[in-house]
Amino acid sequence: MEPKKTPRPLVMLILDGYGISFIKEGNAIMAAKKPNIDRLMREYPMAVVGAGGEEVGLPWGEMGNSETGHQNIGSGRIMYQFLSRIDQAIADKTFFENPQLLEALEHVKKNPDAALHMLGMLSNGGVHSHINHQFALLKAASDAGVGDRTYIHIFLDGRDSSPDDADGFIGKLEQEMKKTKTGRIETIIGRYYSMDRAGNWDRTAVAYNLLVHGKGEHFPAWKDAMKTAFASKDRRMLESAPAMVIDGDAPMRTIQDGDAIIFYNFRSDRARQITRALMDRTFKKFPTEPWKNVYVATMASYDETLKTHAMYKDEEIKLPLGELFSKNELKQLRIAESEKFAHVTYFFNGGREKPYPGETDFQIPSIATKDVSEKPEMRAREITSQVLQEIKKDIYDVIVMNYANPDMVGHTGNFEPTVKAVEIIDEEIGKVADATLAHGGAVLLTCDHGNAEIVINHLTHQRSTDHTNNPVPVMYIAPDNKQDPPKDDVILQHVLGTPIGVLADVAPTALEILGIKKPKEMSGESLLGSLS
């Protein structure tokens, strides 16, 4: 028997926020008309893998997220995430001995006019930050004797945690502040402004001018401010809450030269723009202050070019998938819209900023809108169009692509637009699969985490804006890999209801398809035997 021909290109198609659940209520994926995905599921072998909690290096029960998912897919190993590492450090108290944390506190202690500013997203979502880390920082500031010079700047979530939880988070923070006799809430703003990652510098400017110049609507107390945050009566819009200053008891303390900043978000992609505005002295996007003596500690490394001090470093990832493609002289294309571009490049490459030799990165600008549910198509069609052009050019051996729609629209908690988002990517997946097969290539389809399968919680009947812990699909679509369709949906549900691996198994699967030996650094196992 002749050996199977290596497909070219191999398209690694990552659906963002597309999990598997058989609960119908609130399930935008089940509600969507998706003839292409349904056809491919029946014609080609598929399985599901774990994408949350300990299966991807997060604490038990923690929902998966895009950064973690792409890291696990690209590295071929379970990546123990910052959330787990920081939680453990707090538990064993080594957190309070962290050199960068101590330096930030000492910077304030030795200068009686200096202030300590704590920035971060106040949430228990565990995707970009965690409220418990804010609490630990309050204790550290209290122990250092700078509690009366500590100022807190809250970034509101509403996406990775329910908008309805926001008041409760601030209430818990207030209790912890009283307990430690530390801190004062100075500003509140939505993540739409403070955590933009798509190059919308006008949004970043709103957050910067709030933190540095005190530009925003003034309120006597945080509860008054939160009424404004929900003024639209659409709690989904919490993430775009305006710039708000809390100065009822005393004038606001803005960030000034000589101060220290602790930014406790541990995920880098949505922390980079505001950090660059604060610390990059060559910054030209909008006017900024030329500080000379501001100490900035960040929970993780955001950008190697900035003069900040990372409390926790990225783990070195040896021989991720992208490097192996490069070493084997395969030309690879990475393509996504802005919202997920870092995921198919930086995170997929294990935290490497620079493309590997033979790697081309193509970014399609995301639509600038406050409410993506009004544009559920996002840039899916443009991504498809570019991929089809590249397949015709016959340049690339591997194409890594991402459709952001199910995740980004699912985060709004708006059911019908999420259904529409799934239907749109179904159409695009059909085009990519057909073009790839016609060219002699193959598609390895997977997902980074769940979301769109629970837009309405079937227990509370309320909108769900966060990720899920559900398993995600893996499918191998190749000319010589067709199967006899399952006789009924019961068989198909059995296959999809039992995970056979984890996201770390996707990279070894891709390597086996391409005839590349898996390195010992990869702990994942190929699923090709189950997908053939």
Feature table: binding site for Mn(2+): 16, 66, 407, 411, 448-449, 467
For the sheet with 359-364, list strands across it. Answer: 359-364, 332-337, 398-403, 10-17, 442-450, 472-477, 46-50, 501-502
| H or E, element range at 142 | helix 131-143
Q: Which of 21, 66, 194, 526 is catalytic?
A: 66
3-class DSSP assignment, residue 309:
strand
* CB burial readout 426-447, b (16+ within 10 A) else e: bbbbbebbebbbebebbbbbbb
- Residue 464 in contact with residue 456, Cβ under 8 Å? yes
Q: Residue 66 catalytic? A: yes
Distance CA 409, CA 422 (A): 9
Identity at 140, one-letter amino acid code: A
Give the residue numbers of the binding site for substrate.
Answer: 128, 159-160, 191, 197, 267-270, 340
CB within 8 Å of 431: residues ≥ 6 apart: 384, 388
What Rg value do the Cα atoms of the chain yield, rounded?
23
Give the residue numbers of the binding site.
Answer: 16, 66, 128, 159-160, 191, 197, 267-270, 340, 407, 411, 448-449, 467
Biggest CA–CA distance in the chain, Å, is 81
- Closest C-alpha among 61, 51, 57, 45 to residue 17: 51
Distance CA 64, CA 79 (A): 12
Q: Which residues are catalytic?
A: 66
